[in-house]
Amino acid sequence: MAKWKRYCIPGEQLCSLEDAIPGSGTHTQDGYIFSSLLGCLVKTTRRRMFELLKIQGGYMSFRPGDIVMAKVISLSDAQSNCLLTTGENELGVVVAHSDLGIQMVPISWCEMQSPRTLTKESHKVARVQSELLQT
């Protein structure tokens, strides 16, 4: 059984119903499978079976105080409200601090770790280009 993962946002069109079977965290509309949750898309391929798509919730992807790189996708009204997305690989958490106030370091695209306590936390980590970082 082969697996692969990628990050997705609610409402994102994932694929046609002809290409996969919808799983938990997805819904169908007009012949397509869409994400119902913010989280990680898991595509599982089994021998002699259709591919199964499901979304593993990403409710712990951001925490209060995180510095996040996001993209504005909609200005919803005249009161300066806007809708942001971090659905692309280069978008997500840039800086996060542990409960003790220690700056965490990314250890994968979905996890950060405190260098002092080695505590791990779920975060959707941005893939920041080196020229954007300031020392």
Q: Mean pLDDT check: name the lowest of 28-42, 70-84, 112-126.
A: 70-84
Question: Could you give the angle at the alpha carbon of 135 between the alpha carbons of 111 and 128, nearest 5°?
Answer: 40
- Considering only CA atoms, give the Rg of the chain: 17
| C-alpha distances out from residue 70 to 53, 66, 99, 101, Å | 25, 12, 23, 23
29-66: pLDDT as tens digits: 899 988 877 777 777 765 554 766 665 555 557 777 88
Domains 2-57 and 67-129 belong to one CATH topology: yes
Q: How far apart are CA 109 and CA 81, in angstroms?
A: 28
Q: Which fold has domain 2-57?
A: OB fold (Dihydrolipoamide Acetyltransferase, E2P) (2.40.50)
Tell me what pLDDT residue 1 has: 45
Instruction: Give the CATH superfamily of 67-129.
Output: Nucleic acid-binding proteins (2.40.50.140)
Tell me the whole-structure pTM to 2 decimals: 0.53
Domain boundaries, the chain: 2-57, 67-129
Contacts of 79 (CB under 8 A, 6+ apart): none
Are 15 and 22 spatial neighbours (Cβ–Cβ below 8 Å)? Answer: no
Q: What is the dihedral of CA 84, 81, 68, 89, to 10 degrees?
A: 10
Q: Tell which wins on pLDDT, 46 or 128.
A: 128
